[in-house]
């Protein structure tokens, strides 16, 4: 099922919007430069923090708190445990765990848009928008009141709230974990509804009454919620009880937990019998990793993450700058769009120049930021930027020819006046 809408944008409105976009383009370029500069500073500081940590870290025993290591950066590996029981009162869970989380999803209509544009002779543009509607499981409420086509109505609220509960105390050998560390322990795994104390009690009652092979899925009105069922690993509240086909408005609730015993490795500042963030000259250091890992393994993993994040933000900054330059130059191909193929030719050339300039600016910003930390790399980047500048200059020739061709042939010069005759001179 799809709905199509066609909108025509006049040549004047396109030109006006293009010039309005120039301001946004400058903002995008500045924002991209700021992002790249901040990212390089963040990357350098993080690397220096890790380098300092390598020098300062000392090994500590998991089963003995050494008071001589007070306030020092220590590395400890072992098993973290908690005796705390976390409870979900609505669905009657009582689980010994580091973390218990509830995920709530509703089956809803979702509107998707596809845009297709076609330029017309004279500079106008015809935009075709196609709206399609699909049913999807979503954790947030999709507002259907703004849908292009009516008849795809969603509920306006969830019957249950998502959330997470954490243990407040945990042991780590002779140490104890702080609140922030507890929340970083382990990877959540799905918890079957059969672990619910209410479900267990109902199964026991039915079994004691002579019913054999009772399963959680056999129960109705689960946990006191009318119509609630158990389907697979979820609590399921259908709009139509007994209908196994998902309907808009159906709700499913899943639970996840982190078990009470987890192998972890820590690099942090020892404070009494616990830990806190270690402050270096360049930034904080507080690492908690799953599994038994040596100090060098942890630092290598942190360095890899730092590099990945640096490249992700570099790419994002480059794209932001490229989009900014494209917006700044957008009026030129828009003005030439009176003849569609000329607009496309000029647009292609402008796009190439815009993204090349984005690469030049990005390389220069990154090079300057790294100049103090890795001068050799900075020199290489500057050389690459210079090479791109030369390339841009070479591109100006073809771009000028295209613009000249679009403007038409130059007017022929007027002929020089004929020399005056002798009679004219006498007159």
The 10s digit of each residue's pLDDT in 220-265 is 788 888 889 999 899 999 998 878 899 999 999 999 999 999 999 9
268 within some domain: no
In this structure, what are the phi and psi dihedrals at residue 7, rounded to the nearest 5 degrees? -125, 135
- pLDDT-derived band at 41 (thresholds 50, 70, 90) equals confident
- Tell me how far apart the alpha carbons of residues 244 and 230 are, in angstroms, rounded to a whole number: 12
- pLDDT-derived band at 418 (thresholds 50, 70, 90) equals low
State whether 48 and 89 are in the same domain.
no
Neighbours of 81 (CB within 10 A): 18
State whether 335 and 252 are in the same domain.
no
14 within some domain: yes
Please list, in sequence order, all residues whose beta carbon lies within 8 angstroms of the beta carbon of residue 380, skipping any fewer than 6 positions away.
none
State whether 23 and 161 are in the same domain.
no
- Tell me how far apart the alpha carbons of residues 228 and 193 are, in angstroms, rounded to a whole number: 12
State whether 337 and 233 are in the same domain.
no
Radius of gyration of the chain (CA): 34
State whether 307 and 385 are in the same domain.
yes
Containing structural domain, residue 201: 83-101+156-259
State whether 47 and 90 are in the same domain.
no
122 within some domain: no
State whether 235 and 336 are in the same domain.
no
Q: What is the pLDDT of residue 44?
A: 86
Q: Domain boundary residue among 259, 290, 308?
A: 259
CA neighbor of 220 nearest in space, from 195, 202, 234, 244? 202
**Strand stretches in 120-197, DSSP E:** 125-138, 163-166, 171-172, 175-176, 189-191
382 within some domain: yes
Q: What is the pLDDT of residue 405?
A: 53
The number of C-alpha atoms within 13 Å of 180 and in the hemisphere containing its C-beta is: 9
CA neighbor of 148 nearest in space, from 105, 115, 125, 106? 115
Q: What is the mean pLDDT of the segment spanning 361-370?
A: 85
State whether 403 and 362 are in the same domain.
yes
- pLDDT-derived band at 422 (thresholds 50, 70, 90) equals very low
- pLDDT-derived band at 384 (thresholds 50, 70, 90) equals confident
Split into its structural domains, the chain has a count of 2
77 within some domain: no
Is residue 374 scored above 70 in pLDDT? no
State whether 209 and 91 are in the same domain.
yes
Q: What is the pLDDT of residues 104-119, one digit of tens each?
A: 999 999 999 999 888 8
Do the beta carbons of residue 125 and residue 119 sit within 8 Å?
yes
Q: What is the pLDDT of residue 411?
A: 53
How many residues appear in the chain? Answer: 427
Q: What is the pLDDT of residues 288-338, one digit of tens each?
A: 999 999 999 999 999 999 999 999 999 999 999 999 999 999 888 888 877
State whether 247 and 311 are in the same domain.
no
State whether 241 and 308 are in the same domain.
no
- Tell me how far apart the alpha carbons of residues 365 and 356 are, in angstroms, rounded to a whole number: 14
Average pLDDT, the chain: 88
- pLDDT-derived band at 409 (thresholds 50, 70, 90) equals low
179 within some domain: yes
Q: What is the pTM assigned to this prediction?
A: 0.79
- Comparing 35 with 422, which gets the higher pLDDT? 35
284 within some domain: no
Q: What is the pLDDT of residue 368?
A: 81
181 within some domain: yes
Q: What is the pLDDT of residue 371?
A: 74
State whether 94 and 43 are in the same domain.
no
- pLDDT-derived band at 403 (thresholds 50, 70, 90) equals very low
């Amino acid at each position: 099922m799809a709905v199509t809408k066609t909108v025509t944008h006049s040549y004047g409105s396109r030109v006006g919007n293009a010039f309005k976009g120039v301001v946004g383009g400058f903002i995008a370029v500045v924002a991209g430069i700021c992002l790249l500069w901040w990212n390089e500073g963040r990357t350098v500081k993080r690397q220096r923090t890790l380098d300092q940590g390598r020098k300062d870290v000392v090994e500590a025993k998991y089963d003995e708190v050494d008071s001589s290591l007070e306030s020092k950066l220590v590395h400890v590996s072992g098993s973290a445990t908690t005796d705390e029981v976390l409870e979900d009162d609505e669905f009657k869970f009582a689980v010994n765990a580091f973390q218990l989380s509830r995920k709530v999803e509703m089956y809803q209509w979702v509107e998707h848009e596809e845009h297709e544009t076609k330029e017309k002779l004279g500079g106008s543009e015809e935009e075709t928008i196609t709206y399609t509607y699909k049913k999807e499981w979503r954790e947030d409420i999709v507002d259907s009141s703004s849908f292009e086509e009516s008849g795809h109505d969603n509920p306006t609220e969830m019957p249950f709230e998502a959330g997470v509960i954490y243990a407040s105390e945990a042991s780590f050998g002779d140490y104890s974990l702080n609140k922030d560390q507890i929340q970083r322990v382990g990877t959540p795994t799905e918890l079957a509804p059969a672990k619910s104390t209410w479900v267990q009690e109902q199964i026991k009652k039915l079994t004691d009454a002579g019913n054999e092979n009772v399963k959680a899925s056999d129960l109705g009105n689960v946990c006191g919620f009318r119509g609630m069922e158990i389907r697979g690993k979820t609590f399921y509240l259908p709009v139509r009880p007994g209908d196994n086909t998902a309907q808009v408005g159906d709700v499913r609730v899943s639970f996840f937990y982190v078990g009470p015993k987890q192998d972890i490795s820590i690099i942090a500042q020892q404070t009494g019998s616990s830990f806190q963030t270690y402050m270096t000259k360049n930034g904080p250091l507080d690492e908690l990793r799953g599994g038994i890992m040596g100090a060098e393994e942890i630092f290598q993993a942190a360095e890899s993450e730092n590099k990945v994040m640096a490249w992700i933000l570099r790419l994002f900054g480059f794209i932001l700058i490229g989009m900014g330059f494209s917006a700044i130059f957008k009026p030129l191909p828009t003005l030439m769009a009176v003849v569609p193929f000329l607009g496309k030719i000029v647009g292609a050339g402008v796009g190439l120049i815009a993204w090349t300039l984005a690469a030049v600016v990005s390389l220069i910003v990154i090079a300057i930021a790294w100049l103090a930390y890795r001068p050799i790399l900075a020199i290489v980047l500057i050389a690459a930027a210079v090479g791109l500048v030369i390339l841009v200059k070479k591109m100006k020739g073809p771009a000028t020819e295209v613009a000249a061709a679009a403007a038409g042939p130059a007017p022929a010069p007027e002929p020089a006046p004929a020399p005056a005759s002798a009679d004219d001179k006498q007159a």
